[in-house]
Copies of this chain bind each other. A is one copy, B any other.
Amino acid sequence: MGQYVAPLRDMQFVLHELLHVEDELKQLPKHAEIDAEIINQVLEEGGKFTSEVLFPLNLSGDREGCHHDKTTHTVTTPKGFKDAYQQYVEAGWPALSCDPDFGGQGLPLVLNNSFYEMMNSSNQAWTMYPGLSHGAYECLHEHGTPEQKTLYLPKLVSGEWTGTMCLTEAHCGTDLGMLRSKAEPQADGSYKITGSKIFISAGEHDMSANILHLVLARLPDAPEGSKGISLFLVPKFLPNADGTLGARNPITCGAIEEKMGIHGNSTCQMNLDGATGWIIGAPHKGLNAMFVFMNAARLGVGMQGLGLTEVAYQNALMYAKDRIQMRSLSGPKAPDRPADPIIVHADVRRMLLTAKAYAEGGRAFCSYVALQIDKELNHPDEEVRKDAADQVALLTPVIKAFITDNAWIATSECMQVYGGHGFISEWGMEQYVRDARINMIYEGTNTVQSLDLLGRKVLQDNGAKLRKFGEQVKAFVEDNGTDEAMSEFITPLADLGDKVTKLTMEIGMKAFQNPDEVGAAAVPYLRVVGHLVYAYFFAQMAKIALAKQDSSDTFYKSKLATARFYFARLLPETAMLIRQARSGSANLMALEADLF
């Protein structure tokens, strides 16, 4: 039951009409040859693969889940997962945006990003297996030695091997400074690693020949806390120099978790019993190296939220057109039938449009940031690279938290469109809600993201990065301020821009006196910034749509209506958020813990 069709038209709109990626990529020597045709072709193929191969395994994967054999420490993934992975590898999808030096196709990340949206719409639990590999690839690509790269990267690029990130231990998740896993240096330059990790997504499975674990552990001489953590590469099977598989390394799965959602992905407790590993990057600098992985993963989690929002929307829309129930308040719309399709009801439309606006806003936002990463990595001008890097740093926590919070709202609204059937498993809607819930937690909870945004990304440089983004918004406001047709978008956008500036200064001042003010404001603050970003993109999209609203392509009418809905119904959340963010820390901190 259910459906998924890749939203190619909207993806093309975002990439070509909104972001002009072809022009942008021309400025990057590495991608100068990429044109719209190639992009559209990849999107189309990606749409086919994901809807035909991955989507049909989503509901069954959820119901079947993974199975752990305690004797052999092996994990069996749901029926069809392994075969789908084989098809994925054979089609060359893992290599899409990877470095040609290691067998990659060298396509831009902005394109890979759209493909990940499709994969996540089709099957988030499945997508996490290759998704983590991609993070491991990026981390090794940036911090690995030439020998490590030569030995491991081609296997990750081809998809022959997959990767994981092993950070969390039972007593520490957010607070990695407390971690206890130990790495003992060996005479041959390797390390013996001992410890126990939990919540390791795709930690053990049957889909690939080998698994490369990126493991955080402490060296014997390590300082306490987060400055004494090193990163190690710990393969499930120790590879021979020619890349063939050698001995089984003692890093094994002790159990898998039963959890609320993403049942198709194995969430493993991993035991390292003197497992052999090699250090990545400098001793005690493991968190630095791991942050490459974590930033990639945070963007990836945002894409998970976006993917679920889109697929939930598509299904709720189908149901709302099909299901008949009650008459429209303004008189029968389908008088020949016993009731009207529920899409005639205002509140059903509110629920659908909430998901539609969050999907389309998220798509524009994620594609924009992915393009900035391409620029950060490949633009010939250092200044441009630096600006792009600043934007990526600023917006990564917003992508992670804002999009996943919105996905929780949107999937729940889409489930509500189904009434009682939404709660029933076979309809598939409640799975989207359950799957969406993890995205607000892992890779740094959304509270951690908000502290990263407000504390590190905004206040630490006195708002410089935020100001840069604000100037972009201001320039757009000024360019369009005299266009009367645009005033319904420009006025609230300009107003919110001003409010964000004032709010940031106010919190910054208060934080000088009391650091708890940052913690007290961070979560609503992040959502305010998220809305500023969405208002900026919806205003731009509305401008394009306004110019083409009389076109025979009705896409633009739909886009314009969605932008209007966003400004009328979703942006007003900022009126609440700003009040919350300004309310200060006393209403949270005054009560003694014992009196709760």
Contacts and interface: CB of A to CB of B under 8 A. Distances in A.
Interface stretch (A232-240, A290-298, A322-330): A322-330
Given A329-B519, A441-B419, A565-B588, A596 B257 contact: no
B587 A568 contact: yes
A326 B558 contact: no
A28 interface: no
A324 B175 CA distance: 9
24 contacts: A172-B325, A175-B324, A178-B339, A258-B424, A260-B434, A321-B596, A343-B593, A344-B593, A345-B519, A346-B520, A347-B588, A416-B440, A416-B447, A423-B437, A554-B595, A557-B591, A561-B591, A568-B587, A569-B580, A569-B583, A569-B587, A572-B579, A572-B583, A574-B576
A425 interface: yes
Given A437-B433, A561-B590, A420 B346 contact: no
Contacts of A518: 329
A223 interface: no
A101 to B, nearest CB: 36
A259 B573 CA distance: 32
A431 to B, nearest CB: 8
Given A346-B519, A558-B591, A568-B587, A596 B338 contact: no
A350 B596 CA distance: 12
Nearest to A329: B515
A595 B175 contact: no
A257 B173 contact: no
Contact of A347 (B338, B408, B450, B592): B450
Interface in A522-565: 522-523, 554, 557-558, 561-562, 564-565
Nearest to A342: B174
A286 to B, nearest CB: 18
A313 to B, nearest CB: 9
Given A349-B588, A554-B595, 9 more contacts: A172-B325, A173-B419, A174-B326, A178-B338, A199-B420, A347-B519, A350-B588, A416-B446, A564-B587
A476 interface: no
Contacts of A317: 596
Contacts of A580: 568-569, 572
Contacts of A438: 423
Nearest to A576: B576
Contacts of A420: 168, 173, 198-199, 441-442
Contacts of A579: 572, 575
Interface string A185-215: 0000000000000110000000000000000
A261 B434 CA distance: 11
B516 A328 contact: yes
A416 B441 CA distance: 7
Chain A contact residues: over half helix, strand or loop, or mixed? helix
A433 B515 CA distance: 32
A40 interface: no
A458 to B, nearest CB: 15
A558 B175 CA distance: 30
Nearest to A338: B178
Interface string A404-441: 00001000100110011011111000100110011011
A360 to B, nearest CB: 12
Contacts of A353: 587-588, 591
Contacts of A384: none
Contacts of A587: 353, 561, 564-565, 568-569
Interface string A311-337: 000000100010011101110000000
Interface in A448-488: 450-451
Contacts of A574: 576
A352 interface: yes
A330 B515 contact: yes
A440 B398 CA distance: 29
A361 interface: no
A356 interface: yes
Contact of A416 (B261, B445, B451): B445
Given A172-B325, A329-B519, A519-B346, A426 B593 contact: no
A164 to B, nearest CB: 15
A350 B520 CA distance: 8
Contact of A516 (B330, B585, B589): B330
A586 to B, nearest CB: 8
